[in-house]
Chain A
Amino acid sequence: MGLHSYDPTGATPGLFWTKAVPDARVEVHLGKGEAAVDFSMELTDWVTIPNSLNPAHPLGSSPATISLHIVWSGIDRTINFSDADIGYRAPAPFTRTTPWGSPRAARSALSAGFASGPILSREAAALARTAGDLS
């Protein structure tokens, strides 16, 4: 039971699992390694990851809503990074930090609800300020 694999491409070709969240509350204090994000959004529950990636979606889909609250705090490591191949033309700080919170609560029209507890383990987490090309 649970919800999985929302919007593999959304409505925009090539965008992967990425959607606009106009009502998001975002606070970032990069120098302190702190950030907080809160939002709720409507999206599509594709049931499983393989089903979400398969263009035929053989398991179907369902409308769903998701809410998310995550806080990052504490600096483990900061490096300045640039890589023109991925669009970072100027050195940008990347801060490895620690996320906290209960990241997801979700509800789907498939009669599935899901509420996550506190984060217990962290494989990777970072905050960054990008320096992409806007010309």
Chain B
Amino acid sequence: MPNPIPHATPGPFGPLHFFFPGPVDNTDPNVGHDPSTITDFNGFVGNCDVAGKATGMNTATGETVADNYTADLRFMSGVFVGQDGRVHKGTFAFV
């Protein structure tokens, strides 16, 4: 497994190693900058902060309800230095 990015965004129970989604050249220290959540990584990163309509379902009863969603979704695919110090290849998701 890879190591987290060094940056720590303050969280309610401790630091969180990620940036909120936003422009890479943003001035807010915790928004944008690096969309990846893993470090020592060469590869492709994609992110999106999106919203839309959804359907929720109780799978036990089949009852459905209209819902909304918002989601910060990302992928990272490439080579990275793992926690074992070796170079690996892999794909990771932030969901």
Given A19-B93, A125-B47, A134-B81, do A54 and B7 touch, yes or no (CB 8 Å)?
no
**Bound-state Cα–Cα, A134 to B42, Å:** 8
Using a Cβ–Cβ cut-off of 8 Å, how many residues does chain A contribute to the interface with B?
Answer: 70
Chain B, 32-75, CB within 8 A of any chain A CB: 32-61, 65, 67, 69, 71, 73, 75
The minimal Cβ–Cβ distance linking B18 to chain A, given in whole angstroms, is 5
Complex Cα distance, B2 from A130, in Å, reads: 15
Contacting pair B59 A17 (CB below 8 A)? no
Q: Cβ of B92: which chain A residues have Cβ within 8 Å of it? A: 18-21
Is the CB of B27 closer than 8 A to any CB of chain A?
A: no
Whether A116 contacts B54 by the Cβ 8 Å rule is yes
B30 CB-CB contact with A under 8 Å: no
**Residue of chain A at shortest CB distance from B9:** A16
Q: Give the shortest distance, in Å, between A135 (CB) and chain B (any CB).
A: 8
**Given A18-B93, A54-B13, A124-B22, CB of A35 within 8 Å of CB of B46:** yes
Tell whether, in the assembled complex, residue B52 and residue A121 are in contact, meaning their CB atoms are under 8 Å apart. Answer: yes
Q: Considering the chains assembled together, what is the distance between the CA atoms of A133 and B59 in angstroms?
A: 46
Residue in chain B with minimal CB distance to A41: B93
User: What residues of chain A lie closer than 8 Å to B23, measured between beta carbons?
Assistant: 96, 124, 126
**Residue with the greatest number of chain A CB neighbours at <10 A, chosen from B22, B46, B87:** B46
Closest A residue to B57 using CB positions: A113
* Chain A 1-38 per-residue mask, 1 if CB under 8 angstroms from chain B, else 0: 11000110011101111111110101010100001010
Give the CA-CA distance A9 to B77 in the complex, in Å.
Answer: 19
Whether B71 contacts A103 by the Cβ 8 Å rule is yes
11 of the cross-chain contacts (CB-CB < 8 Å) are: A17-B37, A55-B13, A79-B24, A86-B6, A103-B48, A113-B56, A116-B71, A117-B52, A119-B50, A124-B21, A133-B40
* Other contacts beyond A14-B3, A24-B77, A103-B71: 11, CB < 8 A: A16-B37, A18-B92, A54-B13, A79-B24, A111-B58, A113-B59, A116-B54, A122-B51, A126-B24, A130-B43, A132-B42
